[in-house]
Chain A
Amino acid sequence: MFIPHTGSETGEMLKELGLKSIDELFNDVPVEYRFPKLDLPAALSEMEAFSMAQAISQSNESTQDLVCFLGAGAYNHYIPSVVDSVISRGEFFTAYTPYQPEISQGTLQAVFEYQSLIAALTGMDVSNASHYDGATACAEAGVLAYHHFFGKRPRMVVAPSVHPHYRETMRTYLGGYAEIQITGDDPDRDPLSTPDYLISLVDQHTSLVLVQYPDFFGRIFDLTEFAKAVHEKGALLAVAVNPLSLGLLKPPSDFGADIVVGEGQSLGIPLSFGGPYLGIFATRKELVRKLAGRLVGESIDQQGRKGYVLTLTAREQHIRRDKATSNICTNQGLMALASSVYLSALGKHGLKSVANLCYQKAHYAASRIAKVPGFAVLDDSPFFHEFIVHCPESVEDLNLHLLDHGILGGYDLGCDYPSLEDHMLVAVTELVDKEDIDMLCDVLSEVKHG
């Protein structure tokens, strides 16, 4: 097992300490609370523990058994074998934050390359070493914007078409600043309205405007004029992206975004019931000193050899304590590595191919579903690989029916948006075949006629 001490070694160690038993080391612990009996199941061997885990895992249905049309911020993509092979190397996954650069150049260079790959993909100048996930990256964008204007612009405008979890997380994070007000996603607004209407809410008190691209509903908008209008009011524009879509789509930097955040799960990270994922955070270089989280920079040693170090640490909690830009202590190291390996292995051609496959299959699916009687596709705006379907019955019932046919249906938008009851958000990735889409439509046709 994991504790290597033999009886005689323990004896020798105790002798060195002049003790008879290990228990004597705990005399500082109040005696009335010392050594409680824990009511836990008895220990299993590795063989038994693994069998148990396996049995429990088999009581789930997975996207390996079901055809998956579910997305809403987490996507079922093919992960090339090379990704898990690299991140399974003990040299990477059993190391910690590279506090000692001389013996951590592997992690440091990998993070430096991650920062570069994300900068290249988003079109921004600088990326940090990552945040926990897309939701916390959005929240940290709010914190950055607030501090960028020294607290003098306490308003933030957030589109209702930003992922509901991102908006909730942002509110939890920013709740500590009494003066911060978040508007734009009020429940009485039409969640499907285009970003333009947000401009009327932006004024000289607004620090940040946050939109998503593609948005939570899968739609894409040309944000060029929108960005100009935000900048005219002096606010910062943050855009939350699905990084995989940028293999095909114009990056937000082309529209003039100041901050690009996003959920990096689509870049080679398994669904894993919701985590761990990857928070992407990139900015223009003017904002770098306000960034939260780790940053790796290039330097040289005394002999002039190139190397990498954690840099601008004066922003961080272990130095600045309560004056830090954030309390974040770690990054999402291994997940950032996974996404780097994914982007390196796919390269420019692979990423474009996979984004195009998603785009094509989603558009075929939308055109097919639109022809099923009783169903309507809301396609007023261009979309990437996800779109809204108005269903003739409740999404929950429909999904149970689809499940009987081995299909994992789309996300029930009525859960978050009352006005979108009976609306399903359908995602299509490269893992879905034409036959799968045709089968989905066949089953949907039965629903209408059944």
Chain B
Amino acid sequence: MAEPTIFEISSAGRIGVKYPSPDVPETPLPVNFARDQLPLPELSEQDVIRHYTRLSKLNYSVDGGFYPLGSCTMKYNPRVNERAARLPGFASVHPFQPVETVQGCLAIMYNLQLWLQEISGFKGVSLQPAAGAQGEFVGVSIIKSYHESRKDSKRTKILIPDSAHGTNPASSAMKGYEIVPIPTDANGDVDLEALRAACDETTAGLMLTNPNTLGLFEKDVVEVIQIVHAAGGLVYGDGANLNALLGIVRPGDLGIDIMHFNLHKTFSTPHGGGGPGSGPVGVASHLVDFLPAPVVDVMEKGTEDMAPLYGFRSPSRTIGRVKSFNGHFGMLVRAFVYISMHGPDGLLSISKYAVLNANYLLAKLKPYYKLPYDRVCMHEFVLEGRWEDAPGVIALDIAKRLMDYGFHPPTNYFPLIVHDALMIEPTETENKQILDAFAEALIKIAGEAKTEPELLKTAPHVTPVGRLDEVKAARDLVLCCWIPELSSP
């Protein structure tokens, strides 16, 4: 049965949280500011807990099962991260406290900056961006400020491979850039000839996802970067797929100029049902002065018995501020704890096993699903969700049928360059038995597609609701609960 909304279970006069009476003499509020109607629900605390507990049970989650959502790195979220971020010495600290009282917070940030630099081969990191998309926006802003600082005003174009995430062109457009799509070659790499042809004195930069969204490591990555640099452009690395590269290769060593990290992917901070993320940005030495403000720095050097004094600093040619206060600090604590529990060898293992898991699953599925680019993959791979002998079945049907088998579907219909794409990212935290069970389900579905396609077309069958009418949702546009007080005459 559907769970009623929080407004539908409200009962006038019920109180969930009680507050004490004022302990000070009262001052009347001027009448012209007094609110006369506050249409919020009225519930007991138990009403609230039961409502949200019931809602939670309608969700699929990493805690509940395998979640191979390509490009999202849905790995296990360690519980110690949660406990650390909730320590009162972190959770109850005000962002504007005097720096002397927040040295612990600043130490976390300073060390995380250094660790991310070491992991990626960059010379500076700002922890400010709120999410990956904001990290991209920061990257593009840095590209723009860099060219402007050199009085190089002709550079109006950003090159973006056709396999890129939609956030890449959207972030570039926000900075006023014209987008030039670069095709993918037959091997799944950036088409070098097309790239060479597109590069000229109007090129501001290239946004490169590596491994790309096909899950393939760009074989000619060094040459790609050289071509863009030779034309005077900068190379932005989309760090969405960094989970394949920890201890494997450092993007900065390859010559990439700027990259964002997704702490909520690579460094295990939880996805939270859609956020908060955290998207720090790293840059090569020639761009450190452009980083978004503020960054954490050592203000007074420490000694053997005295910790250094940390403080905030605004880089000299900063692109500015992209959000209030100090980044998503709570996420930074989680990533800090995660990295400290791994060390160099543990980080390397993350990427090795993420790539092993992906290749193992790929090997199991390859006989049953078309693989458009047949190569060793990195942490994820893309299959086609369609067969010539199962006309009418599309990737969406496979995705929905997987729910009947108890799995979260892969990302589908992305990247756009693969028909009926199924983008599968197992992550390193899944064991062999789970991978085997998932492969078995997908293989069964491949059979069903040919023998009982209706099973797929009508899936899912075991979920709280079936396929929802998205056209109706957009046409009728109900974006708000029925609220009794606002509906009464």
- Interface status of A52 (Cβ within 8 A of chain B): yes
- Interface status of B467 (Cβ within 8 A of chain A): yes
Residues of B within 8 A of A249 (CB): 29, 33-35
* B74–chain A nearest beta-carbon distance, Å: 6
Within 8 A of B (CB), among A370-409: 382, 396, 399-400, 403, 408
Residues of A within 8 A of B175 (CB): 175-176
Residues of A within 8 A of B470 (CB): 299, 309, 311
* B186–chain A nearest beta-carbon distance, Å: 16
- Interface status of B266 (Cβ within 8 A of chain A): no
- C-alpha gap A103/B345 in the complex (Å): 36
B174 touches A176 (CB 8 A): yes
- Interface status of A57 (Cβ within 8 A of chain B): yes
Q: Which of B85, B100, B481 contacts A113 (CB 8 A)?
A: B481
- C-alpha gap A68/B342 in the complex (Å): 37
- C-alpha gap A150/B116 in the complex (Å): 41
* A269–chain B nearest beta-carbon distance, Å: 10
User: Which interface class (under 10, 10 to 19, 20 to 34, 35 or more) fits B?
Assistant: 35 or more
- C-alpha gap A340/B176 in the complex (Å): 36
A91 touches B41 (CB 8 A): no
Q: Which of A30, A38, A334, A364 contacts B276 (CB 8 A)?
A: A334
- C-alpha gap A82/B15 in the complex (Å): 14
Residue on B nearest A110 in the bound complex, by CB: B55
B33 touches A321 (CB 8 A): no
Flag B56-72 by CB within 8 Å of A: 1 or 0 each.
Answer: 11111111100101001
B473 touches A298 (CB 8 A): yes
Residue on B nearest A359 in the bound complex, by CB: B29
Provided the pairs A132-B130, A176-B175 are in contact, do residues A334 and B247 lie with their beta carbons within 8 angstroms?
no
Binding stretch for chain A, among B192-200, B248-256, B385-393, B443-451: B248-256
Residues of B within 8 A of A113 (CB): 5-7, 481
B35 touches A248 (CB 8 A): yes
B45 touches A40 (CB 8 A): no
- C-alpha gap A26/B216 in the complex (Å): 11
Binding stretch for chain B, among A10-18, A193-201, A227-235: A10-18
* A347–chain B nearest beta-carbon distance, Å: 4
Residues of B within 8 A of A271 (CB): 91-95
B33 touches A250 (CB 8 A): yes
Report which residue of A34, A56, A66, A301 has the largest number of chain B beta carbons within 10 angstroms of its beta carbon: A56
B321 touches A4 (CB 8 A): no
- Interface status of A163 (Cβ within 8 A of chain B): yes
- Interface status of A270 (Cβ within 8 A of chain B): yes
Residue on B nearest A88 in the bound complex, by CB: B82
Flag A126-156 by CB within 8 Å of B: 1 or 0 each.
Answer: 1101101111100000010000000000000
- Interface status of B417 (Cβ within 8 A of chain A): no
* B88–chain A nearest beta-carbon distance, Å: 5
A352 touches B38 (CB 8 A): yes
Residues of A within 8 A of B16 (CB): 80, 82, 344-347, 350
A35 touches B248 (CB 8 A): yes
Residues of B within 8 A of A17 (CB): 359-360, 363
Q: Which of B15, B170, B277, B359 contacts A320 (CB 8 A)?
A: B170
A175 touches B96 (CB 8 A): no
- Interface status of A210 (Cβ within 8 A of chain B): no
Flag B5-18 by CB within 8 Å of A: 1 or 0 each.
Answer: 11100100011111
A272 touches B91 (CB 8 A): yes
- Interface status of B304 (Cβ within 8 A of chain A): no
Within 8 A of A (CB), among B396-438: 399-400, 403, 408-409, 411, 414, 428-432
- Interface status of A222 (Cβ within 8 A of chain B): yes
- Interface status of B159 (Cβ within 8 A of chain A): no
- C-alpha gap A408/B271 in the complex (Å): 33
Residues of B within 8 A of A5 (CB): 353, 356, 431-432
- Interface status of B126 (Cβ within 8 A of chain A): no
Residues of A within 8 A of B468 (CB): 101-102, 299-301, 307-309
A103 touches B408 (CB 8 A): yes
Residues of B within 8 A of A28 (CB): 216-217, 219, 375-376
- Interface status of A357 (Cβ within 8 A of chain B): yes
Flag B254-284 by CB within 8 Å of A: 1 or 0 each.
Answer: 1000000000000010111111111000000
B340 touches A52 (CB 8 A): yes
A434 touches B23 (CB 8 A): yes
Other A-B pairs beyond A36-B250, A303-B466, A334-B270, 12, CB < 8 Å: A3-B350, A73-B324, A89-B56, A102-B466, A103-B460, A126-B480, A249-B34, A275-B327, A312-B474, A322-B173, A330-B274, A343-B41
> Would you mind naming 28 contact pairs between A and B with Cβ atoms under 8 Å apart?
A13-B360, A17-B359, A30-B254, A58-B89, A60-B101, A63-B92, A66-B101, A74-B94, A90-B64, A95-B273, A109-B58, A116-B5, A165-B323, A175-B319, A175-B320, A275-B276, A300-B468, A306-B2, A306-B465, A309-B468, A311-B477, A327-B167, A332-B276, A335-B275, A346-B16, A347-B15, A348-B42, A350-B16
Question: Top 10 closest A-B pairs, CB basis?
Answer: A274-B325, A57-B89, A90-B63, A43-B343, A334-B272, A274-B95, A333-B274, A276-B276, A364-B24, A106-B59
